[in-house]
């Protein structure tokens, strides 16, 4: 069965510093991986996806993610964090009809 | 939120009462989904639709039914609400069913069952 794991419930980073939100996956076949962000009292917003090709995927709001097949990881990154990046981040993998989501990681960026 | 509205946005109801949540889209996307979000579980698929009158079950479908009589509307019904169905419910849409198609989410409905 397809699954994703987000090993950190919370990540704290200072504004201006680089940030990483971790995700590992377990799939049979080719992985189709996604990152979403959820701001308080809002729905999920799509950030980026990996389908095939370049291992570094660029997405919205300056975020990028690095696909690593040997480590079965798809970590979300940003070179310089903003306070406004504080939110709940979800990694997901496509499994048939549905997206299978991780439990989410709360990112807190301090000024 | 990608042309998706959900109603109501908040609802408090009592155990045993029926509840219907509505999802409306203006994108003319074929595929629609209902998820529930609970702390520590991420989002889990309840039901989905792949066309008018075409629906199927997801991971956590027990206690829920759905209907889709028009492309733009997808209804989720709790026939007899229970406290375990207290959750935030999200509707999502996608253009296609291919693995590379991302899903776009509505703003959510917060349901409390007392």
Q: Give the pLDDT confidence score for residue B99 in this predicted structure.
A: 61
φ/ψ of A83, rounded to 5, equals -55, -35
Confidence of residue B86 (pLDDT cuts 50, 70, 90): very high
Residue A103 touches chain B, beta carbons under 8 Å: yes
Confidence of residue A1 (pLDDT cuts 50, 70, 90): confident
- Residue A62 above 60 pLDDT? yes
- Residue B89 above 60 pLDDT? yes
- Among the partner-chain residues B40, B99, B107, the one whose CB lies closest to the CB of A94 is B99
The encoded tokens of residue B105 equal: 């989410």
Least confident of A21-25, A40-44, B60-64: A40-44
Q: What is the mean pLDDT of chain A?
A: 93
- Among the partner-chain residues A41, A46, A90, the one whose CB lies closest to the CB of B104 is A46
How many whole angstroms separate alpha carbon B99 and alpha carbon B111?
30
Angle (CA) B77-B103-B71 rounded to 5° is 55
For B24-55, what is each residue's pLDDT tens digit?
999 889 999 999 999 888 899 999 998 999 99
Q: Give the pLDDT confidence score for residue B100 in this predicted structure.
A: 72
- DSSP assignment, residue A1? -
- Note whether B105 contacts A101, CB cutoff 8 Å: no
- DSSP assignment, residue B83? G
The encoded tokens of residue B55 equal: 């629906």
Q: Give the pLDDT confidence score for residue B26 in this predicted structure.
A: 95
Q: Give the pLDDT confidence score for residue B98 in this predicted structure.
A: 65
Structure-derived torsion over alpha carbons of residues B81, B66, A38, B103, reported in degrees to the nearest 10: 170
Residue A90 touches chain B, beta carbons under 8 Å: yes
How many whole angstroms separate alpha carbon B61 and alpha carbon A102?
19
């Amino acid at each position: 069965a397809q699954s994703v794991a987000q090993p950190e419930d919370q990540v704290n980073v200072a504004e201006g510093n680089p940030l990483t939100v971790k995700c590992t996956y377990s799939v049979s076949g080719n992985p189709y991986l996604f990152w979403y962000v959820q701001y308080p009292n809002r729905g999920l917003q799509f950030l980026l996806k990996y389908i095939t090709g370049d291992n570094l995927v660029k997405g919205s709001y300056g975020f990028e993610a690095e696909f690593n097949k040997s480590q079965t990881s798809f970590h979300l990154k940003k070179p310089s964090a903003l306070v406004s990046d504080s939110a709940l981040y979800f990694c997901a993998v496509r499994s048939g009809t549905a997206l299978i989501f991780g439990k989410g990681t709360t990112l807190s960026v301090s000024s | 939120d990608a042309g998706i509205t959900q109603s109501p946005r908040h609802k408090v109801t009592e155990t045993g009462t029926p509840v219907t949540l509505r999802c409306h889209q203006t994108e003319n996307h074929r595929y629609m989904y209902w998820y529930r979000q609970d702390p520590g579980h991420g989002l889990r698929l309840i039901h989905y639709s792949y066309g008018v009158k075409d629906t199927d079950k997801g991971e956590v479908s027990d206690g829920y039914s759905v209907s889709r009589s028009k492309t733009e509307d997808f209804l989720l019904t709790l026939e007899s609400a229970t406290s375990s169905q207290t959750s935030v419910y999200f509707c999502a849409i996608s253009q296609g069913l291919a693995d590379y198609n991302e899903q776009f989410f509505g703003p959510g409905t917060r349901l409390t069952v007392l």
